[in-house]
Chains A and B, each alone.
Chain A
Amino acid sequence: MSLARVVASAWRENLLFSVLLELTYRCNLDCFFCYNDLGLRGEPLSREQYLRLLADLREMEVMNLTLSGGEPLAHPDFLALGARARELGFVVRIKSNGHALRGELARRVRDEVDPFLIEVSLHGATAATHDRQTRVPGSFERLLANLRELRELGLRVKLNSTLTRWNEGEIEGMFALADSLGLPLQVDPEVTPRDDGGREPLQVAPSPEGVLRLFRLQFARGRAAEEGRPEVRVARGGDDGTVPTPVHKHCGAGSSGIAIDPFGNVYPCVQWRRPVGNLHEKGIGEIWRGSAGLAEVRGLTVQVKERIGAEGPGSHLLNFCPGSAAAHAGSSLELYPAAVQRREILEQVMVEEEKRTLLPVVR
């Protein structure tokens, strides 16, 4: 059986495979376009509740566990929970801003948590841009020093970035920086509204020209890779990199994956903020098996598949996300401007690429 078939099986049979835990919304940076709902209130899950949750997830044969935030290292029990996750045999990923990952803490993360991957946010190719987005002076230089230290410690690191109006002019520099550090860089071309629906982050959404510049660069780098030159690998987390076909659902949200916020609210996906249960009220197994909200979400992913399929041959270029659709347009079935723009720009770049391959080659 291939991994794609396993993932297809998880989507079809609703086998929970990947869980993202937002341990805390505390953070030592203050990113302008942060999507977290910092006003959300509730009773944080206790250490005992987390330990129980991890045991339940192990029992359910969940494989991937992502520790996120906020800044997950700001949670007082981060190391203890990470170490327990390791003992229970999860594939642990950490999503961090990297600001505190240095010295003794970085060594303890390696030795006690043994993560498969640490995903660190890069916001620009220069201190001026990076620090403008994080709103913490000195954060860029500190990040670069920490990234070098993490590499020296033998930790596997990947850089994540969101394309914004502020960094779109230096996207080439960001890839060059990633290359110089020997790290893969994944760039998300979409700024999303905040999880509370706030639209302030959209003030720095990238321009169409910025998205075009990114896609052209990615295609050019893809060509370079095919010609044998070094290329930054664009890895993807969890089982997201393996899209099974054919399958009757648009994605694995609520079918093979979930996200859990610091207050125990369970969501079908980190981007789909539609609560389907709360761990203060029920265990994760009961929520997974019995939540009416999850059943609705699973049905919606089937409808989304049909809805997007009706868009025709270029529908995959939308890279449609039902969670983003709900945030942008109020319905997970509604096409939203960022997806439509993405398809138009990708079609343009693909036409350019096609012309390039048709040009006679003179050597």
Chain B
Amino acid sequence: MIAITPATVLQRRSDVRYRRIEGEAVVLRQSAAEVLVLNEVGASVLELADGELSVGEWIDALAGEYDGDSASLARDVLAFAAELAEAGLLEPVAGGPEP
């Protein structure tokens, strides 16, 4: 699994298409013709992965939206970002900090 830190900047890969349906995200990775459905947090992460915000900034943004303690939110987001990168949906921004 790719190591992700709060300083990592990720972006959606160019072949990723997604839409939000009732909060969740339907995602198509065009190159693999693969469809995934992400839950609400996953959908938010995918939206935040704009290639400008760091993962730490995602955590801050999500802290305002979801209840729960911030440490476990940070842990979940870091793990989720790594999973999405592993699944080929996200990639590090060229020139940004290495994951």
Contact A1 B39 (CB under 8 A): yes
Contact B35 A13 (CB under 8 A): no
Bound together, the chains give a CA A9 to CA B19 distance in angstroms of 14
Contact A2 B26 (CB under 8 A): no
Residues on B with C-beta less than 8 A from A91 are 17, 28, 30
Per DSSP, chain A at the interface is loop
Residues on B with C-beta less than 8 A from A1 are 24, 37, 39
Bound together, the chains give a CA A61 to CA B15 distance in angstroms of 18
> Binary interface profile of B, 38-54, with partner A (CB < 8 Å = 1, else 0)?
01000000000000000
Q: Which of B19, B24, B37, B39 has the most CB of A within 10 A?
A: B19
Contact B30 A15 (CB under 8 A): no
- A221: Cβ under 8 A from any B Cβ: no
Contact A6 B24 (CB under 8 A): yes
Contact B33 A6 (CB under 8 A): no
> Binary interface profile of A, 1-18, with partner B (CB < 8 Å = 1, else 0)?
111011001100101010
- A90: Cβ under 8 A from any B Cβ: yes
Contact of B21 among A2, A6, A89, A156 (CB under 8 A): A6
> Binary interface profile of A, 136-173, with partner B (CB < 8 Å = 1, else 0)?
00000000000000000000100000000000000000
Contact of B22 among A2, A3, A15, A62 (CB under 8 A): A15
Q: How far is the CB of A339 from chain B (nearest CB, A)?
A: 30
Per DSSP, chain B at the interface is strand
Chain B interface category by residue count? 10 to 19
Q: How far is the CB of A82 from chain B (nearest CB, A)?
A: 14
- A232: Cβ under 8 A from any B Cβ: no
A2 and B17 in contact, given A13-B22, A91-B30 (Cβ under 8 angstroms) = no
Contact A3 B35 (CB under 8 A): yes
- A116: Cβ under 8 A from any B Cβ: yes
A62 and B19 in contact, given A91-B30, A116-B30 (Cβ under 8 angstroms) = yes
Chain A interface category by residue count? 10 to 19
- B18: Cβ under 8 A from any A Cβ: yes
Bound together, the chains give a CA A44 to CA B83 distance in angstroms of 46
Bound together, the chains give a CA A91 to CA B31 distance in angstroms of 12
Contact A6 B28 (CB under 8 A): no
Contact A89 B28 (CB under 8 A): no
Bound together, the chains give a CA A91 to CA B29 distance in angstroms of 10
> Binary interface profile of B, 59-85, with partner A (CB < 8 Å = 1, else 0)?
000000000000000000000000000
Q: How far is the CB of A189 from chain B (nearest CB, A)?
A: 25
Closest to A15 in B: B21
Contact A63 B26 (CB under 8 A): yes
- B20: Cβ under 8 A from any A Cβ: yes
Bound together, the chains give a CA A10 to CA B37 distance in angstroms of 14
Bound together, the chains give a CA A6 to CA B19 distance in angstroms of 11
Bound together, the chains give a CA A19 to CA B66 distance in angstroms of 34
List 5 A–B pairs whose Cβ atoms lie within 8 Å, in order of A's numbering.
A5-B37, A9-B21, A91-B17, A116-B30, A116-B33
Q: List B residues at the A interface (Cβ < 8 Å).
A: 14-15, 17-22, 24, 26, 28, 30, 33, 35, 37, 39
Told that A6-B24, A89-B17 touch, could you supply 11 new A-B pairs with CB distance under 8 A?
A: A3-B26, A3-B37, A5-B37, A6-B37, A62-B19, A63-B17, A91-B17, A91-B30, A114-B15, A114-B30, A116-B17
Q: List A residues at the B interface (Cβ < 8 Å).
A: 1-3, 5-6, 9-10, 13, 15, 17, 61-63, 89-91, 114, 116, 156
